[in-house]
Amino acid sequence: MKALVGTVVDWEGFRENAAVVIDGSVIRDVVPADGIRQYDVDEVYGGKGYLILPGLVNAHTHVAMAKFRGLGEDVPIERWLSDVIWPAELEWTREEIRRWALIGMAEALSNGSTTVNDHYFFADEIAKTASELGIRAFVGQTVMDLVDFPIAEPAEGFRFFKRWEGRDELVTPILAPHATNTVSLELMREIGEFGRERNALVHVHLSQSRSEVREVKQRYGLSPVEYLQRAGVLHENLIGVHGIYLDDSEVSTYAKSGATLVHCSMSMAKLEGRIAPIIELLENGTNIALGNDSPNPVGLMDMFTEMRFAAVLNKAWRKRTDVASARDVFRWATLGGAMALKLKAGLIKPGYLADLVLLNARKPQFLPGENPYSHIVYSARGSDVEMVMVNGEVVYKNGILLKLGKTLEELWEEVRLS
């Protein structure tokens, strides 16, 4: 058995001088630090001045887009997609996807994300890479039929799901229709039917641009949420992303469905100059999760930065300082993501998955240490992560990706020279 010692923090509260006892892939107990003597523990990590967190759930990613970091800066989302990203994506090869997916996932893992929910092309390569790295990954093959995009062939999305269903303990296939304006109503209905048969999660971009809303309205006379409802995918297995143009009626309908909305405040603020109506969604009972989106446009795969931006931007957007508290935002990044993905994770309790992060808080920015939630959201950085455990196994420690036997610097060197 293993034990992590320090201040244990999850959304339900925090316990100082505590120990989390790990047995196999799950948490066996949370006890006072000196209580580990009653267990047969042979590995102990942390100590005084450390914070033990549930693994951060990066609920919307495109990890391989690390290759595009720095491209297409400071342009609207329509130009960013049509003039920069889509032309570059049409040049992908399987080998390049594997290389850059590893860079994106290694970055996310080293910054405290124990789980990524990825939506991209050549999904087999992303899934294989996740398994090799030891990160928990939900992976979907992006599909479209209203845009001429050969690598997004609809049939491949279903084939990928079947190939990976039940294949790997850490990799779960999902369904990944691109967006409400790039996937026909007929295809989305087919995805919905397949999803119900397999109890699969459906991960889709939703209301992320003015043009998306306009195109769906012109094509079907529906809003994006009405489109999802008409297609039969608006339910508790839906993970919608962005939602920045949802109106009041859509907010109410979406909340009643039980679907999750993934908030990516940094990418939408940068690409569209606005963020989603998160506060209204919350007030209507929607489960909220957080995601980094991709290394382009946000620049980095660091959920601590994402939490900080989510807290601040929601206050600025609503012109209210009493919303998006540090504790609430921390919930979105942990329990909210776990709930979206149907994981027994996001809390540090017996029986929950041992997906954990050890944060070295023995640094000035963590003083005086009276409010862990504030320090995690406003003071912590991904570089403060000392160790990451996934499924009870230590997969990252002090700059080393243990399953690969490589350092982050070695990965950097390999890609730089390739």
pLDDT mean for each 10 residues of the chain (418 residues): 98 97 98 95 97 98 96 86 90 96 98 98 98 98 96 98 98 98 98 98 97 97 98 98 98 98 96 95 98 93 98 96 98 98 98 98 96 97 98 98 97 86
Residues for the chain: how many in total?
418
Query: Is 388 within 8 Å of 398 (Cβ atoms)?
Result: no
Closest C-alpha to 374, from 323, 306, 317, 328: 328
**How far is 25 from 407, CA to CA, in rounded Å?**
24
**Token code pair at residue 170:** 């850490």
pTM reported for the whole predicted model: 0.97
Q: Take residue 241 and report the two structure tokens written for it.
A: 């992303």
Structural domains present in the chain: 2-54+345-410 (2.30.40.10), 56-340 (3.20.20.140)
Amino acid (1-letter code) at residue 373: Y
Looking at residue 285, its pLDDT comes to: 98
Report d(CA 340, CA 332) in Å as an integer: 10
pLDDT the model gives residue 416: 83
Q: Compute the distance between CA of residue 215 and CA of residue 243 in angstroms, rounded to an integer.
A: 15
Contact 255, 285 (CB under 8 A): yes
pLDDT at site 76: 82
* Geometric angle at alpha carbon 393, from 262 and 132, rounded to 5°: 70
